[in-house]
Chains A and B, each alone.
Chain A
């Protein structure tokens, strides 16, 4: 499904944020990336849909290297990669249904984007997705009036509207209360199990990872230090993922 090979990235050309990161993600599985702050989790996720241009490596999505695509091709590839964010990034002045429908605009014409022209099939799908995330009665609410957990569920519905093969989640639950956290994680788990979508999640909560993940990738200082099934994630493994080695010290101290 998705295979990342030898990915490298440096923002300033000097300090390496990623060095030789390789892993792969299976369909129908929840893969969780954990690691200390500043380890490079966000950088990995954003490289996958090329929101940031990495320096070196290979990102095979459906057997094509995303890094080699031109702009139009990249746009098409992105249509099949859903993404959800810690701060939701919804268009707050618009209603939930409009935000969900944005998910299918990538494959449509300029005209459709400008005049909000959607097929009946798409409208039906959007309503179905809102129902799936439990927000059917909020379809016509402005998103700025929704709670954090509700916003995140609209975000998920929007990502699903893209009919994605993979969903990338950058700390999707970091701003949510415990109850919304469980709702959101349950939905993501269900997408992997029942819809066969690959779900790749950046997380800070190891206990959440334990109860939802199939596979764990541990990142420290821009390198993969753990890559195994969740069952293999022992306390010593966790400690080693979160440990600070000598050369990362400076940056981590800076982060805190």
Chain B
């Protein structure tokens, strides 16, 4: 609070009575919320966990078999039904799929975000677009791909469109959120100078949101890579996911699964190094 210099005296007055009760109540509300949420979660978990275990289930056998498979996967990876080159190609396909969907998604989502940020758009557009995106986000990627593989036929088109749907919905929300963080004063200043909307977007919004745009887009690329694998397996859309599915549920060959998992982990490691670099570069 800025006060005039002391050559004039301003009669100040204390607010009537200390208002300690408000912060206290504030803290309390948080604690109660956290406690209640934890109790509900714990109750659901404890009450239902036993019902998940099938009636005559031999935990011991399952665990030994699981440990055995993990061991096969990580300690004895080798190929039987495919070649390494084929798998490398398949991994490349999954990476391309992730790249393409992230690229298309980030461009489309940028425009949707502009139309749904509180800083620029009218409330009805903000609410309309954000609700639509929430609904699109609610449908799992696999279902989108399955649906589009009926319309376009099984293949790259369905996979790209299906994953893009989810990417757009996700990125629109996070981009719009990061645009919302821009102080309203900045936009007002540009308006006060008589700038057009296009100029405000290009000269004020884009420079400010560029760092968060890049980092969210990269995060989405990682998600899309995981989605590309999942979709390949569950919707038969090709790539390393499909190979993984075939080896594990068709040939039951966990040696082969091991090779693929190592390949995927290697790429994930590359991504993690890049993201670490990005984070240290922007900070």
Question: Which residues of A are interface residues toward B (Cβ below 8 A)?
Answer: 36-37, 49, 51, 75-79, 81-83, 85, 87, 89, 91-94, 98, 102-103, 105-108, 110, 112-114, 116, 158, 162, 171, 174, 204-207, 235, 238-239, 242, 244, 249, 253-256
User: Known interface pairs A87-B185, A204-B4, A207-B5. Does A94 touch B203 (Cβ–Cβ under 8 Å)?
Assistant: yes
B107 within 8 A of A: no
B198 within 8 A of A: yes
0/1 string, B170-214, CB within 8 A of A gives 1: 000000000000010110111111111011001110011010000
Whether B185 lies near A256 (C-beta < 8 A) is no
Q: Which residue of B lies closest to A254 (CB)?
A: B15
Minimum distance in angstroms from B172 CB to a CB of chain A: 22
Residues of A within 8 A of B207 (CB): 91, 93-94
Give the number of chain B interface residues (Cβ < 8 Å): 32
User: Known interface pairs A37-B1, A114-B198. Does A85 touch B193 (Cβ–Cβ under 8 Å)?
Assistant: no
Whether B208 lies near A105 (C-beta < 8 A) is no
Residues of A within 8 A of B15 (CB): 253-254, 256
Contact of B8 among A85, A89, A158, A242 (CB under 8 A): A242
Whether B198 lies near A113 (C-beta < 8 A) is yes
CA distance A82 to B189 in the complex (A): 10
Whether A110 lies near B194 (C-beta < 8 A) is no
B25 within 8 A of A: no
Residues of A within 8 A of B183 (CB): 89
0/1 string, B3-28, CB within 8 A of A gives 1: 11101101111010000000000000
Residues of B within 8 A of A77 (CB): 194
Residues of A within 8 A of B186 (CB): 89, 91
Whether A78 lies near B192 (C-beta < 8 A) is yes
B62 within 8 A of A: no
Minimum distance in angstroms from A242 CB to a CB of chain B: 6
User: Known interface pairs A91-B208, A206-B8. Does A110 touch B2 (Cβ–Cβ under 8 Å)?
Assistant: no
Residues of B within 8 A of A75 (CB): 194, 196
Residues of A within 8 A of B196 (CB): 75, 105-106, 110, 113
Contact of B185 among A85, A102, A254 (CB under 8 A): A85
Whether A253 lies near B13 (C-beta < 8 A) is yes
Q: Which residue of A85, A102, A235 has the most chain B CB atoms within 10 A of its CB atom? A: A102
Q: Which residue of A lies closest to B199 (CB)?
A: A113
Q: Which residue of A lies closest to B186 (CB)?
A: A89
Contact of B203 among A81, A116, A255 (CB under 8 A): A116
Residues of B within 8 A of A242 (CB): 4, 8, 10
Q: Which residue of B lies closest to A114 (CB)?
A: B202
Whether A89 lies near B3 (C-beta < 8 A) is no
CA distance A107 to B192 in the complex (A): 13
Whether A206 lies near B5 (C-beta < 8 A) is yes
Contact of B193 among A83, A98, A116, A205 (CB under 8 A): A83
Residues of B within 8 A of A106 (CB): 193-196
Minimum distance in angstroms from B2 CB to a CB of chain A: 5
Q: Which residue of B lies closest to A155 (CB)?
A: B189
Whether A83 lies near B208 (C-beta < 8 A) is no
Q: Which residue of B lies closest to A108 (CB)?
A: B199
User: Known interface pairs A91-B186, A91-B203, A93-B208. Does A107 touch B194 (Cβ–Cβ under 8 Å)?
Assistant: yes
Within 8 A of A (CB), among B7-51: 7-8, 10-13, 15
User: Known interface pairs A91-B203, A114-B198. Does A207 touch B7 (Cβ–Cβ under 8 Å)?
Assistant: yes
Q: Would you mind naming 6 contact pairs between A and B with Cβ atoms under 8 Å apart?
A: A93-B207, A105-B193, A113-B202, A206-B7, A239-B8, A249-B13
Whether A256 lies near B199 (C-beta < 8 A) is no
